[in-house]
Structure formats: structure tokens, C-alpha cells
Amino acid sequence: MKNLIRKASEAIYRSKLTLALTGAGISVESGIPDFRSAEGLWAKYDPSEYASIQAFRRDPEKIWDMLRDMDQLVSKAQPNAAHLGMGEMERIGFLHYIITQNVDNLHQEGGAKNVIEYHGNSSTLSCLWCGKHYRAEEKRNETIPRCQCGKVLKPNVVFFGEDIPPEALDHSFQLASSAEVLLIVGTSAAVSPANTIPSIAKSRGAILIEVNMEKTHLTSSLTDIFLEGKAGETIPALVSELKRYRDNPISA
């Protein structure tokens, strides 16, 4: 593992454009379960039943049972060592953009500035009917948050069946085409179109480094360096190796 960390850090150190793609797995150590967890939130609420826009439009009160439970976890969650490590990696110049599928705002709270959100952010709510926006925290005391027009509010997250924000899509495809390293952290890469980023980057010559607790469909097909383990341990190990290289530069 130490050799793999060294190999990955060296690739990041030499890269002129390093991009990260993150998913729910990076926030598991902050107490927010991913979709793969067989217990907790997603055992109670099947995402295929609760996470589609059709379901929300049909019965928003029912979907708010899940959204309220999710909001309780997200509002208490703190960035973990992986979020903080990626914020640090950006600050010291070794990570240029993070594309995240998460909606929990933890990358920003962990210090990252260049974050492209594929699926929105749950810290704000909107009315699908009159378009008014609210901060989630100002509605937290309402069991079913409602707009002043009386309709049920929706968090500004992308439900299954909704489009990815076009500027996030365009920017991420552009970056994926010119990245020299793609760091893929805590995602099963099963959800489209975020899962096309690795193949775009690979086809343009990027080195793919994958951090995950277990192998994914990318591991044997596209990944160059697989770092098996918790993101909260692996990312800090990469950061300290990068600092070592920065302080004792390696030759070309």
C-alpha cells in the first residue's frame, strides 16, 4: 500500500491538471450513509421509490419523510479527514477541481473552493411553482416545509429524472478532457452521467487513481492505481506524501 500511495502521489505531483470525482462514500465517515449501505437510511427508504422527481411531484409529503431524516444527518455532519485533506490538497496547489455527486456541502466546509456540484446542494430549498428560494435552516422547524404560496418546497438537489445543471456538465466534461490525473473517491460510478467522467479522462490520457473500500466496475477496466481503504485514511496519506515531495522536490 505504501508503494501505491507513493506512485499515486508522484502522478499527482507531476500533473498540471488534477481533477477529483467524489461520491457518497467520502461522506460515510461523516455519518451520512451511501446508497450501498444495507442498513440505516436507505434500508428504510428505497432510493428508487423516494429519490425520483416523479415521486416528489406525486406525493411530496411522503418524500419529505425521507428528506427530513436525510436533513437531520446532513445538518449534523462535519467534514472528515478526507474532505479536509482534499481542501488542503487544493490549497497547496495539487488539486484543481472537485466534481462531486454529493449534496451535503462537506467539500466546501472542508476548505475546497473549486467544487462542481452535479446533484445540487441540500442547504437551500425552492418552490417548484412560484420559484421562491429559502435556506433549509429557516424551514427546519416545519415538518413539511412550505413556500409562502402554500406549496411544498423541494431541496435544490437533482432527483432521478431531473437534468444535471448544464454548466456543471459542460465544465466537468471540458476538465475531464484535459485532466492529467483523475482521483476517484468513494463512488460506485453507477449513476449517469457522472460515471462517464472516468472514461472521458482515460481516453484523453489521464492517469486514474481510485480510492474505495472495495473494487468497482472501474477497478479492472479503467483504474491505473487502486488505493483500497477508507477515504479518511487514504487521502491524508496522499497529502502528507505530496507535502514531502513539495519540500524535497523529485526530479523529472
For residue 8, what is its C-alpha cell?
A: 499515486
The whole-angstrom separation of Cα 92 and Cα 158 is 31
Q: Which residue is nearest to ligand NAD (CB)?
A: 25
Q: Which stretch binds ligand NAD (CB under 6 A): 90-98, 199-207, 213-221, 239-247?
A: 213-221
Binding positions for ligand NAD, 30-49, rule CB under 6 A: 32, 34-36
28 binds ligand NAD (CB under 6 A): yes
Total number of residues that touch ligand NAD (CB under 6 A)? 27
83 binds ligand NAD (CB under 6 A): no
The whole-angstrom separation of Cα 78 and Cα 64 is 23
Looking from the CA of 140 toward its CB, the CA atoms found within 13 Å total: 15
Show the DSSP H helices in the chain as ranges.
2-14, 41-44, 47-50, 53-58, 60-76, 81-91, 106-109, 166-178, 197-203, 231-247
105 binds ligand NAD (CB under 6 A): no
Of 52, 126, 188, 196, which one interacts with ligand NAD (CB under 6 A)? 188
Contact of 241 with 234, CB cutoff 8 Å:
no
At 77, phi and psi to the nearest 5?
-70, 145
Contact of 188 with 215, CB cutoff 8 Å:
no
The whole-angstrom separation of Cα 49 and Cα 55 is 7
**Rounded to the nearest whole angstrom, what is the least distance from the CB of residue 64 to ligand NAD in the complex?**
17
**Rounded to the nearest whole angstrom, what is the least distance from the CB of residue 184 to ligand NAD in the complex?**
10
Of 108, 124, 172, 216, which one interacts with ligand NAD (CB under 6 A)? 216
**Rounded to the nearest whole angstrom, what is the least distance from the CB of residue 200 to ligand NAD in the complex?**
17
Of 15, 27, 124, 156, which one interacts with ligand NAD (CB under 6 A)? 27
Query: Looking at the annotation, which residues are catalytic?
Result: 119
Contact of 171 with 178, CB cutoff 8 Å:
no
- The binding track of 148-187 with respect to ligand NAD, each residue x by CB under 6 A or -, is --------------------------------------xx
Contact of 110 with 96, CB cutoff 8 Å:
no
Judged by beta carbon, residue 147 or residue 157, the one nearer ligand NAD is 157
210 binds ligand NAD (CB under 6 A): no
Of 78, 137, 214, 221, which one interacts with ligand NAD (CB under 6 A)? 214
